Chain A
Amino acid sequence: MIAGLMHYLLLSAVLFALGFFGVLLRKNTLVIYMSLELMLIAATLALAAFSHFNDTLDGNVFVFFILTIAAAEVAVGLAIIVALFRKRGTVQVEALNHLRH
């Protein structure tokens, strides 16, 4: 069986679901952030697959932009996590409930 567009899309969906699992289940902010990156990568995989099987370049260019923005996003997000750790002394989400009260 030749790996077609469907295989890539299914793989991308499962990868996205795994990242979703991580975001919902884990309590460590850093691991949640890694799972977010995983979801982003799954989306780029779907874009590249569509681009290849439609014989266009637009999807690949979009992946280019996504990678650039992901790099900026990671820098800002990790800076926020470090600032949070300095302020609160923890990165576990169940300890960060100050807005609840």
Chain B
Amino acid sequence: MANLLFYFFALLALVSAALVVVSKNPVNAALGLLLSLVGVAGLFVLLNAALLAFVLLLVYAGAVVALFLFIIMLLDTRPGQQKPFQRMTLIAATLGGALLVVGVLSLNQRAALPAGGASVTGPTLKHYAEQLFTTYLLPVQLVGFLLLIAMLGVIVLSKKSDQAEEGS
């Protein structure tokens, strides 16, 4: 059953990721990203990380994809003006992707990967809290500062371009 679910979610993630790359309309690409995220969230649940799946859907599907759709609507980019892919770039991209896959496959041959997955229940919220407030306390603080700086940066960015428009 778990295997069937793995293949289902993997297929969902891959097909919708391909949709992101090939679709002409940016709105379709954003919806493909959303579906791909749902697939990956399902895989997180299979990996006993239901909390991460929840956070992924909340942050990505709830905020990031909505923001993307909002910006697409704001910029009003017309679909169908896409040029065909350049042949050289296509070859380079295929080579790069194939090298990555070959690297992972050779990892399978050379390294002794853990079979693992002994714990059935998986980590709970309490385990995360213990880690975040002991071992990873400094990174948590730093990430908080980073969010603050990002917020200020976004405000400055949108303010500056307003003033430039008024000045010109």
Contact = CB atoms under 8 A, between A and B. Distances in A.
Contacts of A81: 71, 75
Given A25-B93, A30-B77, A55-B119, A9 B154 contact: no
Given A15-B14, A45-B40, A79-B153, A68 B72 contact: no
Interface in B137-168: 139, 143, 146-147, 150-151, 153-154, 157-158, 160-161, 164-165
- B interface majority secondary structure: helix
Q: Is the interface of A mostly helix, strand, loop or mixed?
A: helix
B77 A67 contact: no
Interface string A69-101: 111111110111111011100011010000000
A70 B143 contact: no
Contacts, number: 231
A18 B105 CA distance: 17
Most chain A beta-carbon neighbours within 10 Å: one of B47, B67, B103, B160: B47
Interface string A21-45: 1101111101101110110010011
Contact of B165 (A6, A38, A65, A86): A86
Interface in B102-160: 103-105, 107-108, 113-119, 122-123, 127-128, 131-132, 135-136, 139, 143, 146-147, 150-151, 153-154, 157-158, 160
A21 B97 contact: yes
A51 to B, nearest CB: 8
B75 A60 contact: no
Contact of B100 (A17, A27, A64, A85): A17
Contacts of B139: 65
Contacts of B151: 72, 75
Interface of B: 2-3, 6-7, 10, 13-14, 17-18, 20-21, 26, 29-30, 33, 36-37, 40, 43-44, 46-49, 51-52, 55-56, 59-60, 63-64, 67-68, 71-72, 74-75, 77, 81-83, 85-86, 89-90, 92-94, 96-98, 100-101, 103-105, 107-108, 113-119, 122-123, 127-128, 131-132, 135-136, 139, 143, 146-147, 150-151, 153-154, 157-158, 160-161, 164-165
Rank and list the top 9 A-B pairs by shortest CB-CB distance, nearest first: A17-B97, A72-B150, A53-B116, A3-B6, A22-B21, A52-B47, A79-B157, A83-B161, A13-B104
Interface of A: 1-11, 13-22, 24-28, 30-31, 33-35, 37-38, 41, 44-45, 48-49, 51-55, 57-58, 60-61, 63-65, 67-76, 78-83, 85-87, 91-92, 94
